[in-house]
Amino acid sequence: MTLEIAIVEDEAELYAARLRSEFPDVVIHAGHTADDVIDRCGGCNVIMGLAQCIPPALVQATPRLRWIQALTTGVDPLIMMDVLDPSVTITSARGIHGPQMSEMAFLFMLDFARDIRAILRDQQNRHWERRPQRLLLDKTVVIVGVGIISEELARRCKAFGMRVVGVSSRASADGFDAMVPRDRLEEAAGQADFLIAIVPYTRETHHLISASVLDAMPRHGVFINIARGPVVDEDALIERLRDGRIAGAGLDTFVEEPLPATSPLWSLDNVIITPHVGGMSDIYAEQILPLLVHNVRAFKEGRMHDLRNLVRG
């Protein structure tokens, strides 16, 4: 049986070229969007792409589908897709996003600590003002969700002299000073100079960062979301940002994306908005291609148990 793969991604041709060099007998259809490949994937066994960019229509157009390799850590759009047969194996890109996600978290933390936006406005206006400079040293960061990304972030936080608390069912993890279970999230939030969400989005984590969790934060606390938009109660967050009940928020993900121009978040001075770029990097292909090569080889050889980052299958 000929193995056929549909790849949907901005750099799909780059991935396709590398996989063709490793597996010259594999047929690969590459496109930037699902529309680019949907008419060619009738014989495909495999789909690769960002989980949120694999629509139900593409799955339905792939009747021989056996495996989806997500190019993202989060696979919630696939898990929750009604038209996806439960027998289809799903693997993720878990493990490659630690560096870029950690740096995104620090972008937010350093901006709020040093007020970089005000400094840049002063520069633009040729205005000299020496502002207070808040340190990250000895601040407490509470990370909601403990996995590979969180462990990389925790190690970097420790290098800055921060205290790191994890919210997880795990008893311990590298780089963490303390670990508390999820049912004590409000207690942990009460300690947070920075409360960072990195949990996967599931039915159980919907609005995990609730109004009561936000209310438990100190007024100087900053909430950072590099998980998924619906992990936080966005309306409750907006209300507390408007009222100054928390100091600010750094948001890379939102309930609706792209974030509508009508969203109140755009006009709040204590919010930093980035367009869901936390997982991106200038070396993404280099980071993920070893995983793709390994998994395609295992799939071709029928070694399904050797697929890395198995989510379902």
Per residue of the chain (313 residues), what is the pLDDT tens digit?
689 999 999 999 999 999 999 999 999 999 999 999 999 999 999 999 999 999 999 999 999 999 999 999 989 999 999 999 999 999 999 999 999 999 999 999 999 999 999 999 999 999 999 999 999 999 999 999 999 999 999 999 999 999 999 999 998 899 999 999 999 999 999 999 999 999 999 999 999 999 999 999 999 999 999 999 999 999 999 999 999 999 999 999 999 999 999 999 999 999 999 999 999 999 999 999 999 999 999 999 999 999 999 999 8
- pLDDT score of 171: 86
For CATH 3.40.50.720, list the domain ranges present in the chain.
4-96+284-312, 98-273
- What is 4-96+284-312's CATH superfamily? NAD(P)-binding Rossmann-like Domain (3.40.50.720)
What is the helix (H) or strand (E) element at residue 123, kind and residue range?
helix 116-124
- pLDDT score of 177: 97
CATH fold, domain 98-273, is Rossmann fold (3.40.50)
> Structure pTM?
0.92
Closest C-alpha among 205, 144, 200, 199 to residue 176:
144
Among all residues, which ones are annotated catalytic? 228, 257, 276
Inter-residue contact 205 to 199 (CB < 8 Å): yes
CA 20 distance to own-chain centroid: 29
- DSSP class of residue 160 equals T
